[in-house]
C-alpha cells in the first residue's frame, strides 16, 4: 500500500509541477530573447542623432566605435551610398528590404540574429543601422533558470512523496494492526484487540472491531452459561428419580413407589425434550407468564417428593394471577433450582415453606426451610461455587433471572429457622414520589422564567 500511495503522489505532483514548469521555462526563454533585442534596439537608437548631424564617414565610424555593440564588433551602419561602416553580418538583400519597408525587423544571421533599423535622412535617402545579437546573448541565463525550475519541480515531487509516505505509514500500520487482530480472532484468540489509530475511517473500523470482539466473547460466555443452565434442569427430575429409587430399594414390592419411579422417569424424558426445544429456539424477546400458575404447577410435582420424605410444606399463593416479565421456561427453571436445593441440602423430614408475594412494583418468591441455613451468602451466590458438592448453578440461575427484570436475589433467615431465598422480579418501574415531582415542576418553572 505504501508503494501504491507513493506512486500516486509522484504521478499527481509530477503532473502539477510540469503544468507550471513547462510554461515558465518557455516564458523564461522568451523573456531572455526580448531582453537581448530590446538592448540591441537601444544601441541602434543611439546612432540616429548622429546621422541627423553628420554624414562624414570618419565621424560615423567614430560614432559606431563609441557604442558597446560597435566596440564588440556587433554594430554596423549602412549609409545610403557607399560601403558599410562597422562589422556587418546582414546580407545585402536584408538591408535592401529594410530600406524598402522602412521599419525595423529581425533576420537570421550566422550564429545569431540581426536587428535592422532604418533611419530616414530625407525623403529619398534611408540609412540602415544593423545590430548583431549572438545566440548566446539571446539565450543568456535561460539554461540556469530552467535548471532551477527543474530542481524546484523535483524537490516538490520528493517532498510530496515523503509526505505521502508518512501518511501511508499511519494508514498501513493501522490497517496491518486491524488485519492481525482479525486474523488472531479468526484463529481462536478471542482476547485479541486493536488500538484504534490512523485515519478517522480506520479508527471507526478498529472501534467497531473491538465492540464486535467483546460482543462475541459475551455471546460465547452466554452460550456456555446457557448450556450449563439447561443441563442443570436435569437435576430436578433426577432428584425425584433418585428419591423414588431409594424408597424402591428399601421396599421393592411397594406399587406406589414403582408408579412414582415411572412417573419420575417420564418427567426426566419430558425435561430432556424441553431442553432440546429450548436450545433450538431462536433468540428473541421473552414473553411474560403467570408466576402463580407456574409455582402452583411445580408445587404439584415437589409436593409428592415432600410427602415421600416426610417434609411439611407450607404454601401461600395469591388468589389471582401474578404476571411477571419473564418466560415460563426460565421461571420454571428458577423455581425448580430453588426447591431442588432444599431437597438436596437439607435432611429428610425438614419442613419448608413457599410464599408468592404479589406487590405493586415487583413479585417475590420466598422459599424457606428449617434446615441448617447458609453460613456464607456471598459465596453461595457466586456462580459455580458450592459448599455441598453440587454444581453451584442453582442460585445463579435464579439471580440472573431476577436481575434481567431489574430485581434481585437475597439470602436471609426463614421463620422456620433455616435459610430463606427471596427471588424478586420487577414487574413495573417505580413511579416518582410526590416530592420529586414537585421539585421537577419547580425546576421547569425556573427554566421558563430564565
Least confident stretch, 63-72, 349-358, 389-398: 389-398
DSSP result, 164-217: HHHHHHHHHHHHHHHHHHHHHHHTT-TT------SSHHHHHHHHHHHHHHHHHH
- The DSSP 8-state label assigned to residue 122 in this structure reads S
DSSP result, 62-115: HHHHHSHHHHTT-EEEE-SSS--EE---S-HHHHHHHHHHTS-EEEEETTEEEE
What pLDDT does 368 receive?
Answer: 94
Separation between Cα atoms, residue 120 and residue 10, nearest integer Å: 60
Instruction: Name the CATH code of domain 289-430 (choices 3.40.50.740, 3.40.50.300, 3.40.50.1170, 3.30.565.10).
Output: 3.30.565.10
Phi, psi of 87 (to 5 degrees): -90, 105
Condensed to tens digits (0 to 9), the pLDDT of residues 223-235 reads 776 666 666 566 6
Q: Where are the domains of the chain?
A: 59-136, 289-430
Give me 99's grid cell.
530600406
Separation between Cα atoms, residue 58 and residue 360, nearest integer Å: 133
Question: Please, what is the end-to-end C-alpha distance for the chain in angstroms?
Answer: 58
Buried b (16+ CB within 10 A) or exposed e, 2-19: eeebbeebeeebbeebee
Closest CA to 209 of 240, 246, 183, 248: 183
Condensed to tens digits (0 to 9), the pLDDT of residues 105-161 reads 889 888 889 999 998 887 778 888 999 999 888 888 888 988 998 898 888 888 888
Least confident stretch, 47-51, 176-180, 218-222, 355-359: 218-222
Amino acid at each position: 500500500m505504501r508503494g501504491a500511495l507513493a506512486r500516486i503522489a509522484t504521478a499527481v505532483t509530477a503532473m502539477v509541477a510540469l503544468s507550471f514548469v513547462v510554461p515558465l521555462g518557455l516564458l523564461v526563454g522568451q523573456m531572455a530573447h526580448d531582453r537581448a533585442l530590446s538592448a540591441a534596439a537601444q544601441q541602434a537608437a543611439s546612432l540616429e542623432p548622429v546621422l541627423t548631424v553628420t554624414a562624414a564617414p570618419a565621424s560615423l565610424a567614430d560614432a559606431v566605435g563609441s557604442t558597446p555593440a560597435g566596440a564588440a564588433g556587433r554594430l554596423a551602419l549602412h549609409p545610403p551610398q557607399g560601403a558599410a561602416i562597422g562589422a556587418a553580418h546582414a546580407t545585402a538583400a536584408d538591408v535592401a528590404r529594410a530600406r524598402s519597408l522602412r521599419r525595423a525587423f529581425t533576420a537570421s544571421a550566422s550564429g545569431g540574429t540581426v536587428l535592422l533599423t532604418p533611419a530616414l535622412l530625407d525623403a529619398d535617402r534611408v540609412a540602415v543601422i544593423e545590430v548583431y545579437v549572438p545566440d548566446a546573448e539571446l539565450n543568456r541565463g535561460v539554461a540556469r533558470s530552467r535548471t532551477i525550475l527543474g530542481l524546484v519541480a523535483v524537490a516538490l515531487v520528493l517532498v510530496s512523496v515523503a509526505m505521502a509516505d508518512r501518511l501511508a505509514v499511519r494508514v498501513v500500520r493501522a490497517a496491518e494492526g486491524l488485519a492481525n487482530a482479525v486474523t488472531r480472532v479468526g484463529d481462536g484468540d478471542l482476547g485479541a484487540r486493536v488500538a484504534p489509530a490512523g485515519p478517522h475511517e480506520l479508527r471507526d473500523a478498529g472501534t467497531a472491531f473491538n465492540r464486535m470482539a467483546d460482543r462475541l466473547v459475551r455471546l460465547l460466555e452466554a452460550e456456555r452459561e446457557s448450556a450449563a443452565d439447561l443441563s442443570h434442569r436435569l437435576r430436578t427430575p433426577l432428584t425425584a428419580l433418585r428419591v423414588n429409587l431409594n424408597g424402591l430399594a428399601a421396599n421393592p414390592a411397594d406399587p406406589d413407589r414403582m408408579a412414582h419411579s415411572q412417573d419420575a422417569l417420564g418427567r426426566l424424558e419430558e425435561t430432556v425434550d424441553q431442553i432440546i426445544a429450548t436450545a433450538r429456539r431462536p433468540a428473541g424477546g421473552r414473553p411474560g407468564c403467570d408466576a402463580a400458575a407456574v409455582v402452583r404447577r411445580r408445587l404439584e410435582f415437589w409436593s409428592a417428593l415432600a410427602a415421600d420424605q416426610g417434609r411439611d410444606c407450607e404454601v401461600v399463593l395469591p388468589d389471582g394471577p401474578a404476571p411477571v416479565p419473564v418466560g415460563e421456561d426460565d421461571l420454571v427453571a428458577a423455581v425448580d433450582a430453588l426447591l431442588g436445593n432444599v431437597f438436596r441440602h437439607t435432611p429428610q423430614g425438614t419442613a419448608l415453606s413457599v410464599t408468592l408475594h404479589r406487590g405493586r412494583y415487583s413479585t417475590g418468591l420466598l422459599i424457606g426451610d428449617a434446615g441448617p441455613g447458609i453460613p456464607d451468602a456471598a459465596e453461595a451466590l457466586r456462580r459455580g461455587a458450592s459448599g455441598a458438592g453440587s454444581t453451584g448453578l442453582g442460585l445463579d440461575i435464579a439471580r440472573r433471572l431476577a436481575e434481567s427484570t431489574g430485581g434481585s436475589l437475597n439470602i436471609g433467615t426463614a421463620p422456620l429457622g433455616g435459610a430463606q431465598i427471596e427471588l424478586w422480579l420487577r414487574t413495573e418501574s417505580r413511579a416518582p414520589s410526590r416530592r420529586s415531582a414537585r421539585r421537577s415542576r419547580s425546576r421547569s418553572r425556573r427554566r421558563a422564567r430564565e
